[in-house]
């Protein structure tokens, strides 16, 4: 299969989905939620559990919108961003691997408004992340990590990008293929739902 890597948020694919209606849902504004932790509270080394080893659950992953961490009780909440709004989304890691034999791969996927799915990958050129329709991990063979990965930075919601976008991530055993992801999970499976330009 020919590989497609996009440096922006797949404008061709998304523009082709303009006729897809946005599903009605109760949405919230990220700025209206109080009591959310900042990223710094999660990636502070003093709060990390990286020195704790558990072979069955090696890491905790969380998404953050505008540097506010999305906890488990908010993962099913659709966050609304209107036309002209600007937002950033990051993935916060706390990876701990018991031994070199337990290394993992990181997968980051996005479900698109038309029901399609794309995967984020690392690239050699700025902004160092890209997108592909071919299933593959974001990065592979990891031992430890305690930081945040910028997925979209200062993204402005424009016409042509309307719809529902579901981001999800997971660590799996190294060298796992797409069909076996659910059987080789080595982390929680966080998600964040975005409704753009409704």
- What is the rounded distance in angstroms from the CA atom of residue 194 to the CA atom of residue 53? 33
Instruction: Tell whether 192 is covered by a domain.
Output: yes
pLDDT value at residue 109 = 96
Q: What share of the chain is helix, strand, coil (3-state, %, to 5)?
A: 15, 40, 45
Instruction: Tell whether 35 is covered by a domain.
Output: yes
Instruction: Tell whether 26 is covered by a domain.
Output: yes
- pLDDT tens for 103-143 read 889 999 999 999 999 999 988 887 778 899 999 999 888 77
Instruction: Tell whether 133 is covered by a domain.
Output: yes
Residue ranges in the chain assigned as alpha helix (H): 11-15, 39-43
Instruction: Tell whether 163 is covered by a domain.
Output: yes
- What is the rounded distance in angstroms from the CA atom of residue 183 to the CA atom of residue 28? 33
Instruction: Tell whether 138 is covered by a domain.
Output: yes
Instruction: Tell whether 2 is covered by a domain.
Output: no
Instruction: Tell whether 71 is covered by a domain.
Output: yes
Low-confidence spans in the chain with pLDDT less than 50: 1-25, 44-50
| Share of residues in the chain with pLDDT > 90 (%) | 32
* Total number of domains in the chain: 1
- What is the rounded distance in angstroms from the CA atom of residue 187 to the CA atom of residue 100? 17
Q: What is the pTM of this model?
A: 0.74
Contact (CB, 8 A) for 100 and 53: no
Q: Where in the sequence is the domain holding 118, given as residue range(s)?
A: 11-196
């Amino acid at each position: 299969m020919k590989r497609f890597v996009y440096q922006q948020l797949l404008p061709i694919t998304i523009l082709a989905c303009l006729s897809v209606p946005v599903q009605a849902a109760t949405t919230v504004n990220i700025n209206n939620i109080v009591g959310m932790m900042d990223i710094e509270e999660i990636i502070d080394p003093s709060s990390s559990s990286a020195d704790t080893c558990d072979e069955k659950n090696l890491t905790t992953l969380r998404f953050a919108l505008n540097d506010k961490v999305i906890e488990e009780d908010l993962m099913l909440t659709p966050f609304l961003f209107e036309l002209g709004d600007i937002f950033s989304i990051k993935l916060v890691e706390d990876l701990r691997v018991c031994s070199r034999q337990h290394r993992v791969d990181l997968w980051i996927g996005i479900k698109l408004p038309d029901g399609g799915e794309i995967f984020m990958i690392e690239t050699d050129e700025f902004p160092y992340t890209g997108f592909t329709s071919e299933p593959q991990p974001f990065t592979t063979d990891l031992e430890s990590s305690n930081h945040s990965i910028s997925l979209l930075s200062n993204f402005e919601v424009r016409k042509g990008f309307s719809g529902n976008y579901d981001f999800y991530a997971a660590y799996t055993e190294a060298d796992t293929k797409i069909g076996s992801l659910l059987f080789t999970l080595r982390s929680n499976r966080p998600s964040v739902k975005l409704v753009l330009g409704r």
